[in-house]
């Protein structure tokens, strides 16, 4: 019987699964705001480094307007320009102060953005910084009846706190200067390469672990059935107590439950709710790390004895001495990560716990045949597309992206993600991948290797190499799409599922094995006694 801890580990991961590739938005296309000639820019984030009395100070982030010229993309080409406060502050009338190419700082309100920009340009300003009356950034668009859109200076919206800081320095008679530029994201960041290697490597290791376990179970079955041919009828059920097998109904139910949980995350997203998710992630991470360490250490002869010696513990049942030895370390590791998860290098601990948890799930959970795998991945494919793209029409924002980023929680994303900081991105941030983008296709890849081993197929003649390659290519296409969309979140399964599932189905049909893969999921193996009788005839 599968342990209660194993069931909890599987259940928690499947409920907390998020499937998304994300790297932070840089360009913000918006098809709802009106576009017209002279007012058709994309919304881009703008870096605004500042100098106070010649000393470098804070760097703020603003957003460029729909109108006006585009900004420089390289810092070295952006001019150091002095800042002047508008008088009147809203810049809805000609400024009283004389401008000679300064960047003018104005308040939002009382007239349109384009009116402010036109007045500032006529007064001699080289750019206009508009202070929002909230801490959030606001997209500056043109009104439908506006015609004077030949604006020759860039306009940038600043959040309220940034604007108040600059205003206070100006009121103290300090000399304030700024640069305005919008750096481009590199086509490929090293973080994405490492994240790709992590995802592919995790599935590779987990598949071999699952296949090795299945092979050992098959050997045990053959030993048990050697003198009992009548038990061959129960071969499919033998040795199944060490893992959880997904059914077709469970595959469909998973998507329904995951959707409900995702909506709950979206509606209840807050600081305390993320704290609950952190606790659940730590519990699952401890289980995963413990399972992986025990399995790894038991391969060495120094630990074999302690791994095979058990002691009974209430509620948990028989537990090996090796498990008891590694558990305190696993708990301490998870607790330290939870306490210090906001420091710069905490992503390392999160990835270690996440990879261990994913590998444990891929070891415990199995799809019995290609039919279940097709239903599971097909439903996940639709689930990913719906909650990333279609949900915008119902909730006015992408539910999946909001949940993955941890909006309104005060946290830098939820913990159920593998993440690596973007090393060469001028905007910083993280490249992330959801657990679901590894676990769900990983179940199919692990199934392919188990089938190959039980059918005694060589790598070139089997399905695993093809499935593994298809997953790697699908994930690679995901990151290409991510960069083409300037970092805007993408549903990774939109690209991964057609590659992995399509390759498997096409190859199975071509080889004439699709029926076996679809229904049985394992090669036919005759019982020893029946085989011996046929040889004597």
Residues designated as active site: 384, 437
**By C-alpha distance, which of 96, 169, 158 is closest to 127?**
158
Q: Residue 78: enclosing H or E segment and its boundaries?
A: none
Percentages (nearest 5) of helix, strand, coil residues in the chain: 55, 15, 35
Q: Which two tokens stand for residue 235?
A: 């071969």
φ and ψ at residue 208, rounded to 5 degrees: -65, -35
Rounded distance, CA 192 to CA 238, Å?
42
- 10 Å CB burial of residue 505 (0-12, 13-18, 19+) is middle
d(CA 322, CA 298) in angstroms, rounded, equals 8
> In which residue are the tokens 């980023």 written?
405
DSSP letter string, 314-337: TTTEEEEHHHHHHHHHHHHHHHHH
CA distance 361 to 417: 15
Contact 106, 91 (CB under 8 A): yes
DSSP H or E segment with residue 254: helix 248-268
Write down the residue that tokens 């060495």 correspond to.
300
Show Cβ contacts of residue 397 under 8 Å, excluding neighbours closer than 6 positions: 391
DSSP H or E segment with residue 210: helix 190-225
Among 204, 207, 200, which Cα is nearest to 367's? 207
What is the distance between the alpha carbons of residues 521 and 481, in angstroms, rounded to a whole number? 34
Q: How many residues does the chain have?
A: 537
Calpha distance 209→450 (Å, rounded): 10
């Amino acid at each position: 019987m599968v342990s209660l801890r194993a069931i909890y580990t599987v259940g928690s991961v499947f409920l907390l699964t998020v499937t998304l590739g994300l790297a932070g938005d840089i360009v913000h296309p918006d098809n709802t705001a009106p576009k017209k000639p002279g007012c058709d820019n994309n919304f881009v984030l703008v870096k605004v480094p500042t100098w106070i009395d010649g000393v470098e100070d804070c760097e703020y982030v603003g957003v460029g307007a729909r109108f006006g010229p585009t900004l420089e993309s390289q810092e070295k080409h952006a001019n150091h320009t002095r800042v002047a406060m508008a008088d009147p502050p809203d810049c809805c009338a000609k400024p009283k102060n004389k401008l000679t190419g300064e960047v003018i700082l104005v308040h939002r309100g009382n007239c349109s953005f384009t009116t402010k920009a036109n007045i500032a340009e006529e007064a001699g300003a080289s750019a206009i910084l508009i202070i929002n009356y909230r801490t959030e950034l606001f997209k500056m668009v043109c009104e439908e009846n506006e015609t004077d859109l030949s604006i020759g200076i860039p306009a940038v919206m600043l959040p309220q706190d940034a604007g108040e800081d600059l205003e206070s320095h100006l009121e103290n008679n300090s000399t304030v200067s700024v640069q305005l530029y919008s750096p481009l994201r590199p086509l490929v960041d090293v973080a994405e390469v490492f994240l790709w290697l992590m995802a592919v490597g995790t599935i590779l290791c987990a598949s071999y672990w699952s296949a090795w376990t299945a092979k050992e179970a098959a050997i045990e079955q053959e030993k048990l059935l050697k003198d009992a041919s009548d038990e061959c009828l129960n071969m499919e059920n033998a040795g199944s107590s060490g893992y959880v097998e997904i059914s077709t109904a469970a595959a469909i139910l998973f998507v329904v439950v995951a959707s409900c949980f995702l909506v709950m995350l979206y509606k209840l997203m807050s600081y305390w709710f993320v704290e609950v998710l952190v606790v659940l992630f730590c519990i699952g991470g401890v289980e995963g790390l413990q399972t992986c360490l025990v399995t790894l250490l038991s391969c060495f002869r120094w630990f074999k004895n302690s791994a095979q010696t058990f002691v009974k513990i209430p509620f948990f049942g028989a537990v090996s001495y090796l498990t008891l030895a590694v558990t305190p370390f696993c708990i301490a590791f998870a607790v330290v990560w939870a306490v210090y998860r906001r420091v710069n290098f905490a992503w390392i601990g999160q990835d270690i716990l996440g990879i261990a948890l994913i590998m444990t799930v891929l070891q415990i959970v199995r799809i019995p045949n290609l039919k279940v795998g097709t239903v599971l991945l097909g439903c996940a494919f639709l689930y990913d597309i719906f909650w990333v793209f279609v949900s915008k029409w119902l909730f006015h924002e992408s539910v999946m992206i909001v949940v993955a980023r941890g909006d309104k929680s005060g946290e830098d994303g939820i913990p159920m993600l593998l993440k690596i900081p973007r090393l060469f991105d001028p905007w910083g941030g993280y490249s992330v991948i959801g657990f679901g983008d590894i676990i769900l296709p990983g179940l199919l890849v692990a199934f392919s290797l188990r089938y190959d081993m039980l059918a005694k197929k060589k790598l070139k003649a089997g399905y695993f190499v093809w499935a593994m390659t298809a997953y790697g290519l699908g994930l690679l296409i995901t990151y290409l799409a991510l960069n083409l969309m300037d970092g805007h979140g993408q549903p990774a399964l939109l690209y991964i599922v057609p590659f992995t599932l399509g390759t498997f189905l096409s190859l199975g049909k071509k080889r004439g094995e699709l029926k076996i893969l679809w229904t049985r999921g394992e090669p036919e193996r005759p019982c020893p006694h029946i085989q011996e009788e046929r040889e004597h005839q």
